[in-house]
Every structure is written in structure tokens, then in C-alpha cells.
Amino acid sequence: MIAIVACDANWGIGCQGCLQQAVSSDLRRFRALTMGKVVIYGRNTLDTFPGKKPLPGRINLVLRTRDEACAEGCEYFSSIDGLMARVRGLKQEGYHDNDFIVIGGGAVYQQLLPYCDTILVTQFE
């Protein structure tokens, strides 16, 4: 599993649900690294996407703490165990460890970093 994170010089990853900085070259890199892969993130991160819709061209796995309305095109999980069971199923379908990309937010990084063997960091000044 891979984690991708953009942060400021103090390792802050967001401010009121927004990226610290949106740099077009970094966003293009993010798209290239995640397209066709499985992205894993929290429901609050989903809320920051345009229209609160999942990222196109990817399998979207969303961790959430409450039972709430689901965006079409996402698979929702209320536990790490449930999420990891789905990850194992996708591996049986042919996905590999580096096809699973954790993209935030903070609580999701905290829970899934033990499963990650690579962390890709963009740090802004």
C-alpha cells in the first residue's frame, strides 16, 4: 500500500477541509499516480472533491464513522477490518500492493500507515 500526502513545512495536511496549496504540477502527478488504481480515503476527504463525487477512473474505498448517505461510485466501510477484507478481495482479482493508495485525511493516514510500505510526500514552504 502507498500513501500520498501534500503538506506544509510544519507537516500540516489541510485547513478547513482544503489542501494547504493546490499546485497544478502536483495535482497532475497525483492524477497520474492514482489513475486506474484503488484510492482509499475518509468521508471528509470525499466532501472536498468537486460535487462531493468520487474520483473518476479509480476504485474509491471510503472509510466513515457514521451511517450516512453514500455517493454513487464509492464503496463504504465502517471499519479497518471490513476495508482490509475488500483489499484482500481486490488482490485476488489481480490488484497488487502498489495499486492501493491512501489519500487522506489525517485519521485515515493514522489508521492505515502501518499497512503502507511507501509514502510519497510533497512538502510546500
pLDDT at 125 over 90: no
Give domain limits for the chain: 2-123
* Residues above pLDDT 70, as percent of the chain: 90
2-123 belongs to CATH 3.40.430.10: yes
The angle formed by the CA atoms of residues 81, 34 and 95, to the nearest 5 degrees, is 55
Q: Which amino acid is at 48?
A: T
Query: Which three cell numbers mark 101?
Result: 493508495
pTM of full prediction above 0.75: yes
pLDDT at 15: 52
Distance (Å, whole) CA 123 – CA 125:
7
pLDDT tens, position by position, 42-85: 998 998 898 999 999 999 999 998 777 678 899 999 999 999 99
